[in-house]
């Protein structure tokens, strides 16, 4: 059964810093991986989808990498801003189904 973990659980950084959020999964037979952002009490906003055949995807200040064989993905946020403060979730879809297995999230605070 796929298990997804995220480190750190919480992170507080000053504005302008570059930062890395980590996601690990136990079963490397994945189809794709999606990073989401969740604001308090709100829904999930899709950030990046990275296919199992890809090594990275970029969108603006965000870059997601995938190392399937080691069961890891990282989300890199460049030049962080207070508006980036949210919980970041990674979710893995395996080769056997359609649904996502979510990690517990990393709660990010960017201080002005």
Partner 1 sequence: EPEVTQTPSHQVTQMGQEVILRCVPISNHLYFYWYRQILGQKVEFLVSFYNNEISEKSEIFDDQFSVERPDGSNFTLKIRSTKLEDSAMYFCASSRVSRETQYFGPGTRLLVL
- In the complex, minimum distance from the CB of residue 9 to partner 1, in angstroms, rounded to a whole number: 12
Q: Supply the minimum distance, in Å, between the C-beta of residue 93 and partner 1.
A: 6
Q: Which residues bind partner 1 (CB under 8 A)?
A: 31-32, 34, 36, 41-46, 49, 89, 91, 93, 97-105
Phi, psi of 53, deg, nearest 5: -85, -10
CB of 38 to partner 1, least distance (A): 8
Nearer to partner 1 among residue 41 and residue 83 (C-beta): 41
CB of 44 to partner 1, least distance (A): 4
Query: Which long-range contacts does 1-5 make (Cβ < 8 Å, 24+ apart)?
Result: 1/27, 2/26, 2/27, 2/30, 2/92, 2/94, 2/101, 3/101, 4/90, 4/91, 4/92, 4/101, 4/102, 4/103, 4/104, 5/103, 5/104
Q: Which of 33, 5, 14, 6 is nearest to 80 (CA)?
A: 14
């Amino acid at each position: 059964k796929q298990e997804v973990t995220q480190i750190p659980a919480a992170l507080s950084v000053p504005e302008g810093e570059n930062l890395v959020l980590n996601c690990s999964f136990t079963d490397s037979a994945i189809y794709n991986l999606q990073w989401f952002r969740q604001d308090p009490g709100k829904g999930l906003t899709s950030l990046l989808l990275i296919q199992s055949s890809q090594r990275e995807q970029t969108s603006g200040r965000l870059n997601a990498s995938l190392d399937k064989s080691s069961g890891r993905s990282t989300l890199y946020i460049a030049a962080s801003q207070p508006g980036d403060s949210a919980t970041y979730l990674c979710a893995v879809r395996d080769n056997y189904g359609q649904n996502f297995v979510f990690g517990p999230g990393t709660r990010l605070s960017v201080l002005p």
